[in-house]
């Protein structure tokens, strides 16, 4: 669904289960292919993981793309997410600074996970709501590593509810 549009920018609502761009076996059934049916010039400025729902911004002109990409690189744009995580953190707010990088996986080949040799990754977390055995968190990411929220919350001891891959500690099953 298109949430906002003008001559330079398009904001869309991406549902969970839909890949943003082609890859990993998803070629045509992607948000990009759906958007380009009506806006063939649109280029995504960022991505959300296939299992994540949220707003994805698309540039409709080269100038808009340049300005938006520069804003993303300089952290002028704030990325705020809501996450349902297991357990309840001891603190109302906390930071997670755990490097993320590719690591070997016996079935998938290589995946991203917490790694001492990974790239710097930083997230700021705020507790919004306590629930039975779970919590609703606000997560602000300062970097944009693959699966950053999933990995960071798992590293902090609070994997996402229903996450089939990442476990406490930031590793994987």
What does the pLDDT look like over 12-34, one tens digit per residue? Answer: 999 988 999 987 776 778 999 99
Q: Residue 34: exposed, middle, or buried by beta-carbon count in 10 A (0-12, 13-18, 19+)?
A: middle
Structure tokens at 13: 């609502």
Selected residue with higher pLDDT from 109 and 6:
6
Quick one: what percent of the chain has pLDDT higher than 90?
71
Q: Which helix H or strand E contains 12, and what residues bound it?
A: strand 9-14
pLDDT at residue 93 tops 90: yes
Q: Is 120 exposed, middle or buried (0-12, 13-18, 19+ CB in 10 A)?
A: exposed
Tens-place pLDDT, residues 98-141: 999 999 988 888 899 999 999 999 999 999 999 999 999 999 99
Beta carbons within 10 angstroms of residue 93's beta carbon: 11
User: What count of other Cβ atoms lies within 10 Å of the Cβ of residue 162?
Assistant: 8
Predicted TM-score of the model (pTM): 0.85
């Amino acid at each position: 669904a298109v949430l906002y549009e003008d001559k330079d920018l398009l904001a869309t609502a991406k549902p969970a289960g839909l890949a943003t761009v082609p890859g990993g076996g998803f070629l045509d059934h992607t948000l990009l292919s759906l958007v380009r049916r009506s806006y063939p010039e649109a280029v995504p400025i960022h991505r959300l993981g296939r299992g994540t729902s949220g707003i994805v911004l698309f540039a409709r002109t080269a100038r808009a793309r340049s300005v938006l990409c520069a804003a993303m690189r300089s952290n002028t744009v704030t990325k705020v997410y809501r996450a349902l995580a297991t357990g309840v953190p001891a603190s109302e707010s906390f930071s997670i600074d755990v490097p993320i990088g590719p690591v070997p996986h016996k079935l998938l080949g290589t995946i991203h996970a917490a790694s001492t040799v990974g790239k710097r990754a930083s997230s700021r977390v705020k507790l919004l709501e306590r629930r039975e055995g779970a919590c609703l968190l606000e997560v602000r990411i300062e970097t944009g590593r693959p699966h950053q929220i999933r990995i960071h919350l798992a590293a902090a001891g609070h994997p996402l509810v229903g996450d089939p891959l990442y476990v406490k500690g930031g590793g994987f099953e």
